[in-house]
Amino acid sequence: MRKITVFETTLRDGEQSAGVNLNLQEKLEIAKQLERLNVDIIEAGFPAASIGDFESTQAVAKAIRGASVTGLSRSNQRDIDVAWDALKGGAEPRLHLFIATSPIHRQYKLKMTKEQVLEKAVESVKYAKQRFSVVQFSAEDAGRTELEFLKEVFTAVIDAGASVINIPDTVGYLSPEEYGAIFRYIKNEVPNVDRVSLSAHCHDDLGMAVSNTLAAIMNGADQIEGTINGIGERAGNAAIEEVALNLRIRQDYYQAETRLHLDQLTRTSRLVSSLTGMVIPPNKAVVGANAFAHESGIHQDGVLKERTTYEIISPQLVGLESNSLVLGKHSGRHALKERMEFLGYHLDEEQLASFFQKFKDLADRKKQVSDDDLVALLHESTLKDDSNHYRLEYLHVSYMNAVATATIKLQTPNGTSLEDAAVGSGSVEAIYNTIEKMVGMKINLLDYKIKSLTKGRDSLAEVYVKVEYEGMTGTGRGLDNDVLGASTKAFIDGINRLRNMSKPKQFMEEENEENESTSFVLEAFK
C-alpha cells in the first residue's frame, strides 16, 4: 500500500467559502479535531492576508503537536517573513508558497512574463528555504498552464530547494484523464522529480474534485489536499472524507491508504458544519444524514438479510454511532466529564465547573441531553470570542394582529446596558429592528437558517445568520431552547463578528503580485 499524505486546508481554502468567518477559538477547535482525525498537515491560514489570519495561524501552530502546521504565502519576501513569524512556534513548520503560472493569470492578474514568473518563483523558494526546512511550491492554475512551462518552473524550484510540488486545478476545469496526465507528464519529464513529492489540489466547479484527486493518486500523487465536507472557494475543494473512503473501500483498486482515523470523520464533519454554518446536504456521500438510510422496501429487505447487499460502507467505520441519550438532570459532574472525554473534549477543573452549571441549566429544561446537545452547548459557551462583545441580557416579544414588538436589553462592549424596543411585521424582524437601532449599524440580513438540534419538542434550536455591514459579510450562530432566543443570539453574534473583523477577506483575488497590499499587515507588526 502506498501511503498518501493528507494536507488539510479547511482553515484556509475552506474558510474562503463565501460568508464563512471563523473566530480564533473556532479555528483552534477545528484544528484540534483535525489532529484527532490524524491528518498529516494542517493549513491554518494565510498569515499575511489579515491580522486575524496571522493570529489564528500562530495560535494553531502553537497548539498542534500531532501534525505539521503550514500557512499560505505569495511569492514575495514580506509574505514569507510574516508566515515565518506565524509558524515558527509550530512542531514542524512548513511553508506553502504559490505563484500563478497559467497564461491567463500571467497576462491579466500578474502582468508578468514567463521569465518573470520563473525568476520570482525561484527567488522566493530560495528565500523561504533560509527559514523553513520544508517548502511546498504551488503553481496556481497549473491545470491551465502550458506543460512545457510547468516542467521548466518545477525543475527550477526543485533545484532551489522545494520539497513538495503542488499541481492545483484552481478553477476546477479538468477531467480526471487530463489531470492524471499532468501528473504522468511531470513524473516522466521533470529530471529532478524524484527529490520531491507531488500533491493534488482540486476544486469542484464541474463536480470533479474528488474524481480528479483520485486520478492524480493513480498517476503518482503522494499527497492530496482538500477540506472537510468539501467546503471552499466557489463550489469548494475535494472532500477529504470522500477521497479517504474511496481509498479505504476500494483499496483493491487504488492500492493506497491515508493515516486518517476514519472513525473521527463524522464528528469532524459535524463540527465543521456547525462552526461554519455550511449545512451538509442529506444525500452527501459519507457524512450526509441519508448516507446510510435505506428507504426502499427491497433495499431494507436486502440489508436485513445481508448488510453488504446495499451497504458498502459500515456506519461504524466513519464513527456514526447511535446518538445515545445518556445524560439527564440527575447526572453528576463525573459522568459529564467522562462523556465529554469520550466525545474528545478534555476540560480542566475550571472549565468543567462552568460547563457543568450550563449542563444543569439545560437538563432542567430538557429531559434528556444528547451528545449533540453537549457538543453544541460547549461550543456555544466556550468558543465565543468574548472580547469586545454585545451580550443579550433580556428579551421580550409580543405579537398581535400582524404587529410584533420586541423589547431588548443588551450589555454593550464597554459594560453599560442599553434597553430599547421596536416593531416589525414578524417577531424576528421586530427583534432585528430593535438590535439594529441599539447598535447603530445598518445590517443587511443575507441569510437566515433555523434547525432543531435533535429530535423531540424540547430540542434546542440552532440559528445561523449571514449578515453584511458596509461591504463586510459575516455569519452568526445562536443556540437556545427558544427559536426567538436563538434568532436573537445569532444576530448579536453576527454583529460581534463583524465588529471583530479587521479587514475584508477578499484580499487574495484583488491583489497583484507587485502591489503593496500587504503593507497594512506589516504596519501593524512594527
- How far apart CA 8 and CA 45 sit, in angstroms, is 11
138 part of the interface to ligand KIV, by CB under 6 A = yes
| Residue 293: how many other CB atoms lie within 10 Å | 11
Q: Which is nearer to ligand KIV, 109 or 337 (CB)?
A: 109
What 8-state DSSP symbol labels residue 196?
Answer: S
What 8-state DSSP symbol labels residue 108?
Answer: I
The three grid cell numbers given for residue 162, joined into one nine-digit string:
522545494
- How far apart CA 498 and CA 486 sit, in angstroms, is 18
- Are 198 and 183 within 8 A, CB to CB? yes
- By a kind-dependent CB cut-off of 5 to 8 A, residue 497 interacts, out of ligand KIV, Zn ion, none, with none
- Smallest separation (angstroms) from Zn ion to the CB of 203: 6
- Smallest separation (angstroms) from ligand KIV to the CB of 301: 45
168 part of the interface to ligand KIV, by CB under 6 A = yes
Sequence-distant (≥ 6) Cβ neighbours of residue 343 within 8 angstroms:
267, 371, 374, 375
- By a kind-dependent CB cut-off of 5 to 8 A, residue 138 interacts, out of Zn ion, ligand KIV, none, with ligand KIV
**Contact range with ligand KIV by CB under 6 A, out of 151-159, 163-171, 250-258, 364-372:** 163-171
- By a kind-dependent CB cut-off of 5 to 8 A, residue 518 interacts, out of Zn ion, ligand KIV, none, with none
Count of residues engaged in binding ligand KIV, rule: CB under 6 A:
10
Count of residues engaged in binding Zn ion, rule: CB under 5 A:
1
DSSP character string of 432-456 = HHHHHHHHT---EEEEEEEEESSSS
- How far apart CA 302 and CA 159 sit, in angstroms, is 58
For Zn ion, which residue of 4, 11, 12, 13 counts as binding (CB under 5 A)?
13
- Smallest separation (angstroms) from ligand KIV to the CB of 168: 3
Site for ligand KIV in 203-242 (CB under 6 A): 203
- Smallest separation (angstroms) from ligand KIV to the CB of 437: 41
201 part of the interface to ligand KIV, by CB under 6 A = yes
In angstroms, what CA-CA distances link 504 with 219, 345, 467, 497? 39, 32, 13, 12
CA torsion sign, 182 to 186 to 188 to 194? negative
Strand ranges for 85-237 from DSSP E: 94-100, 134-140, 164-169, 197-202, 223-226
53 part of the interface to ligand KIV, by CB under 6 A = no
- How far apart CA 159 and CA 220 sit, in angstroms, is 20
Q: Which is nearer to Zn ion, 178 or 468 (CB)?
A: 178
For ligand KIV, which residue of 58, 70, 101, 170 counts as binding (CB under 6 A)?
170
**Contact range with Zn ion by CB under 5 A, out of 12-20, 152-160, 213-221, 241-249:** 12-20
- Smallest separation (angstroms) from ligand KIV to the CB of 206: 14
Report the candidate in 101, 156, 164, 154 with the shortest Cα–Cα distance to residue 132: 164
Q: Which is nearer to ligand KIV, 124 or 487 (CB)?
A: 124
98 part of the interface to ligand KIV, by CB under 6 A = yes
**Contact range with ligand KIV by CB under 6 A, out of 162-170, 305-313, 457-465, 493-501:** 162-170
CA torsion sign, 398 to 402 to 403 to 408? positive
Site for ligand KIV in 60-79 (CB under 6 A): 72
Q: Which is nearer to ligand KIV, 203 or 366 (CB)?
A: 203
Degrees to nearest 5, angle at CA 60 with 57 and 64: 145
- Are 522 and 47 within 8 A, CB to CB? no
Chain positions contacting ligand KIV, by CB under 6 A? 13, 72, 98, 138, 140, 166, 168, 170, 201, 203
Chain positions contacting Zn ion, by CB under 5 A? 13
